[in-house]
A and B are shown apart, each in its own frame.
Chain A
Amino acid sequence: MTINILGISAYYHDSAACLIQDGTITAAVQEERFTRKKGDNRFPKNSVKYCLNQGQISINNLDHIIFYDDADLKFDRLKNTYLAYTPNGFESYYRSMNAWARGKNNITQLLQNELISHCNVNREKIPQISSVQHHLSHAASAFFPSPYEKAAVLCLDGVGEWATTSVWTGEKNTLYPQWQIDFPHSIGLLYSAFTQYIGFKVNSGEYKLMGLAPYGEPKYADDIVSKLIDLKDDGTFRLNMDYFNYPVGFSMTNTKFHDLFGGSPRLPESELTQKDMDIARSIQDVTEEIVFRLARTIKKETRQDFLCIAGGVGLNCVINGKILREGIFKDIWIQPAAGDAGGSIGAALAFWHMALNKPRVIRKPDSMNGSFLGPAFSNQEIQTHLNTTGAKYFYFDDSDLIPKVAELLAQGYVVGWFQGRMEFGPRALGARSILGDPRNPKMQQLMNLKIKFRESFRPFAPSVTADSVSEYFNLDRASPYMMLVAPVKSQLCYPMTDAQNALFGIEKLNIPRSQIPAVTHIDYSARIQTVHMETNPRYYQLLSEFERITRCPVLINTSFNVRGEPIVCTPEDAYRCFMRTKIDYLVLENNFLAKKEQTIRDTDDSWKTEFELD
Chain B
Amino acid sequence: MKKIVAMIIYTCNIPVGFLSRLFRRNRFKRNINKNVKTYRCEPDTIRFASQDRISVTQKYDEDADCPDTLYPMW
The interface of chain A, by Cβ under 8 A from chain B, is: 66, 70, 72-73, 80-87, 90, 93-94, 97-98, 108, 128-133, 135-136, 161-163, 166, 174-182, 184-185, 230, 232-234, 236-242, 247, 350-351, 354-355
Contact = CB atoms under 8 A, between A and B. Distances in A.
Contacts of B16: 83, 86
A123 to B, nearest CB: 12
Nearest to A101: B2
A82 B34 contact: no
B10 interface: yes
A70 B47 contact: yes
Nearest to A176: B59
A591 B40 CA distance: 56
Given A178-B61, A241-B28, A86 B10 contact: yes
Interface string B1-45: 011001100110110111011000011110111101111111110
Given A81-B28, A230-B32, A241-B31, A162 B7 contact: no
B56 A240 contact: no
Q: Bin the interface of chain B by size.
A: 35 or more
A178 B48 contact: no
Contacts of B59: 176-177
A491 to B, nearest CB: 44
Contact of B39 (A72, A98, A185): A185
A179 B57 contact: no
Contacts of A240: 31-32
Contact of B10 (A93, A131, A132, A136): A93
Contacts of A97: 6
Contacts of A72: 49
Interface on chain A toward B: helix, strand, loop, or mixed SS? mixed
B50 A128 contact: yes
Nearest to B34: A230
Contacts of A181: 39-41
B39 A236 contact: yes
B37 A232 contact: yes
A492 B28 CA distance: 51
A100 to B, nearest CB: 11
B28 A84 contact: yes
A355 B47 CA distance: 9
Nearest to B64: A179
Contact of A177 (B39, B46, B48, B49): B46
A115 B32 CA distance: 45
Contact of B41 (A84, A130, A179, A241): A179
A115 B16 CA distance: 39
28 contacts: A72-B49, A84-B20, A84-B28, A86-B10, A86-B14, A86-B17, A94-B3, A98-B2, A128-B50, A128-B52, A131-B49, A131-B50, A133-B46, A162-B44, A179-B41, A179-B42, A180-B40, A180-B44, A230-B34, A232-B39, A234-B40, A236-B38, A238-B31, A238-B32, A240-B32, A241-B31, A354-B48, A355-B54
A80 B44 contact: no
A230 B36 CA distance: 11
Q: Which 4 A-B pairs have the closest CB atoms?
A: A177-B43, A130-B50, A86-B17, A84-B28
Nearest to B67: A238
A83 B74 contact: yes
B41 A94 contact: no
Contacts of B7: 90, 94
A320 B57 CA distance: 30
Contact of A161 (B3, B20, B44): B44
A179 B61 contact: yes
Given A97-B6, A178-B61, A240-B32, A234 B37 contact: yes
Contacts of B18: 86
Contacts of A135: 44
A98 B43 CA distance: 29
A175 B2 CA distance: 43
A182 B14 contact: no
Contact of A163 (B11, B43, B49): B43
A6 to B, nearest CB: 14
Nearest to A108: B51
Contacts of A182: 27, 41, 68
Contacts of A177: 43-44, 46, 58-59, 61
Contacts of B74: 83
